Amino acid sequence: MIDLDDLEIYQRYDPDGMRNHIHQLPQQLREAWQKSSEFTLPANFASIDKIIVCGMGGSAIGAELLRKFASSSAKPVILVHRDYDLPASVDSKTLIIASSYSGNTEETLSSFTQAMDKDCPKMAITTGGKLKDLAQTRQIPVFTIDYVCQPRAALGYSFIPLISLLARLGFIEGKSAWVEEAIQTLEALLDKLAENVPTSRNSAKQLAQRLFGKLIVIYGAGILSPVAQRWKGQFNENSKTWAFYETFSELNHNSVVGYEFPKKMADNTFVILLRSPSLHPRILARYQITSEILQKAKVKHEIIDSQGKEKLAQMMSLVFLGDWTSYYLAMLNQVDPTPVKMISYLKERLASMK
């Protein structure tokens, strides 16, 4: 197995520096918060009662995090739309946000183009591309991302501006303190998870070693459901490995019955249960019982707890751990974590079919 304490391997297998983007996530949060706090909001945003974020992949995960983070607020209703056609429920009080890092995601462009004919508030979050051109042509506000990376590595810019938006419209409170705690939590974690921290003291390196060669399944609940989804995507894109996610308590109504067959899967699967003290007490009980069931089925698994006092820090602490773990697993797999060749191939084939 690759020695994760050999710093030379990071130059060899990570020539584009994905590790640098993971390092910069705390600073991303700070810069995104500052920039979004200065972003001018149109007057008609004040009357919204629904938000539909149109996006895919790494550009949509911020909206998924927001949806769970703000789920206790009465308004607005937040939906994440990952499709070509705009939902029929759009009305004059629906804010449509197109989130596409590249600005060229075809599903997002399709649904946002349909929104042009709707009498509703709109905005875009992007670096440029066709989306920015479309929005500017229609005088729709654009929050421009000026951070160069893969879309999944720009999470701060797809998530924090959405929190800022809700805070400035009066839907949530306590925002600055939450963001600052999340930043400080990640900064403290960086000193424990970075590549120069030896495996003996680095929980992300240790976890990656346990996951090496396994099919990975991530369980989450409540505010950690989209975090589990983030882990799944990071293992797919960074580590180039099979991974899936499920959520409590739905998985207790079906998945726990399916651990028996095929028999060989028990030896080749590793289940990660992401846990937070903010979850419902009955959900926390389900974590313990599910762990017992996995133990009986002889399926390797591990409960991983969040850090931080408030929900945002708890979510982001586990996001950060997942990012580092997926990165170290890429090193163990001896693959460059940055390119996503199959996604590029798929887009090329789709373009040829127009």
pLDDT in tens, 247-256: 999 999 999 9
Is the pLDDT at 354 greater than 80? The verdict is no
Would you say how long the chain is, in residues?
354
- Domain 18-173 and domain 198-333, same fold? Reply is yes
Q: Pick from 128, 168, 163: which is nearest to 145 by CA?
A: 128
- pLDDT band, very low/low/confident/very high, at 92 (cuts 50, 70, 90): very high
Q: What percent of the chain has pLDDT over 70?
A: 100
Both tokens assigned to 237: 């894109």
Contact at 8 Å (CB) between 54 and 120? no
For the annotated catalytic residues, the residue numbers are 237, 253, 347
Strand 142-144 relative to strand 94-100: parallel, antiparallel, unpaired?
unpaired
| Architecture of domain 18-173 in this structure | 3-Layer(aba) Sandwich (3.40)
Return the pLDDT at 72.
81
């990656």: which residue's tokens? 208
Does a cis peptide bond (omega within 30 degrees of 0) precede residue 92?
no
| CATH code for the part of the protein at 198-333 | 3.40.50.10490
* Domain layout of the chain by residue ranges: 18-173, 198-333
Per-residue pLDDT at 110 exceeds 90: yes
Pairing status of strand 94-100 against strand 122-126? parallel
Strand order in the sheet with 269-275: 243-247, 215-220, 269-275, 300-305
Residue 174: its pLDDT value, please? Answer: 65
The structure's pTM equals: 0.97
What are the two backbone dihedrals, phi and then psi, of residue 308, each rounded to the nearest 5 degrees?
Answer: 105, 160
Query: Does 74 have pLDDT greater than 80?
Result: no
- pLDDT (0 to 100) of residue 273: 98
Give the tens place of pLDDT for each residue, 298-351: 999 999 999 999 999 999 999 999 999 999 999 999 999 999 999 999 999 999
Residue 227 has pLDDT above 90, yes or no: yes
Residue 296 scores a pLDDT above 70: yes
Burial of 187 (0-12, 13-18, 19+ CB in 10 A): middle
Tens digits of per-residue pLDDT, 164-211?
Answer: 999 999 998 867 899 999 999 999 999 999 999 999 999 999 999 999
Closest CA to 245 of 230, 223, 228: 228
Mean pLDDT, all residues of the chain: 96
